[in-house]
Amino acid sequence: MITCKQCGTQVEGDVKYCTNCGAPLEIPETSQNTSQIDLSEKFKQFNDTADTTAEFTAEDIEKNKVMALLAYIIFLIPLLAAKDSKFARFHTNQGIILFIGAVIASIIAAIPIIGWIIAPILSVIITVLAVIGIINAAGGKAKELPLVGKFKILK
Ligand SMILES: [Zn+2]
């Protein structure tokens, strides 16, 4: 919202001239970075998911961070090597979901045209989610992933 210095009209949106009198509008300095702020704001909203870190013991988190992180790369390793870790299991669950997503993406990729468009988008989303998961695991957080974190495969 910008107020016109000429006539006092409040002008909405991304306009350079007053919609009432046509005077050039002075865009406040803060709006220069808006696109950047918008993006990090959007990401924050996107990544605003349940954080259940408090349900895990500090010892478990400390001991099994690496296993939790591996869950997003090769989920089979923590599934076999860190069965007893609740923290590793939390991330393994999400790793498996992303793996299933990747399998679905590769199946969709076989569908001509539509699949060729959707599969790469899915792959990008899965990659972004895996990176978020790895960052959470490395940071010792049991935070749900956006979009897929609600699904629970492992009990
Ligand atoms: Zn005006």
Q: pLDDT by residue (tens digit) across 64-85?
A: 999 999 999 998 999 999 999 9
Q: Ligand 1 centre and the CA of 36: distance in Å? A: 28
String of DSSP letters for 114-142 = HHHHHHHHHHHHHHHHHHHHHHHHHTT--
Query: Which pLDDT score is estimated for 62?
Result: 97
Q: Ligand 1 centre and the CA of 99: distance in Å? A: 56
User: Is residue 60 over pLDDT 90?
Assistant: yes
User: Is the domain of 15 the same as that of 59?
Assistant: no
User: Is the domain of 78 the same as that of 30?
Assistant: no
Q: Ligand 1 centre and the CA of 12: distance in Å? A: 12
User: Is the domain of 22 the same as that of 60?
Assistant: no
User: Is the domain of 32 the same as that of 58?
Assistant: no
Q: Ligand 1 centre and the CA of 102: distance in Å? A: 54
CA distances from 49 to 11, 128, 129, 137 (A): 35, 15, 12, 15
User: Is the domain of 26 the same as that of 55?
Assistant: no
Residue 67 lies in a domain: yes
Query: Which pLDDT score is estimated for 99?
Result: 96
Query: Which pLDDT score is estimated for 153?
Result: 87
User: Is the domain of 57 the same as that of 127?
Assistant: yes
User: Is the domain of 33 the same as that of 51?
Assistant: no
User: Is the domain of 32 the same as that of 63?
Assistant: no
SS3 call for 119: helix
User: Is residue 88 over pLDDT 80?
Assistant: yes
Question: Where does the pLDDT of residue 145 fall: very low under 50, low under 70, confident under 90, or very high at 90 and above?
Answer: very high
Q: Ligand 1 centre and the CA of 5: distance in Å? A: 7
Q: Ligand 1 centre and the CA of 16: distance in Å? A: 11
Per-residue pLDDT, averaged over 142-150, amounts to: 93
> The pTM is what?
0.74
Domain extent, residue 78, equals 47-138
User: Is the domain of 78 the same as that of 106?
Assistant: yes
Give the total number of structural domains in the chain.
Answer: 2
Question: What is the dihedral angle through the alpha carbons of 144, 149, 151, 155, rounded to the nearest 10 degrees?
Answer: -30
Per-residue pLDDT, averaged over 33-52, amounts to: 85
Residue 74 lies in a domain: yes
Q: In the predicted model, what is the mean pLDDT of the chain?
A: 91
User: Is the domain of 106 the same as that of 30?
Assistant: no
Give 94-131 pLDDT, tens digit per residue.
Answer: 999 999 999 999 999 999 999 999 999 999 999 999 99
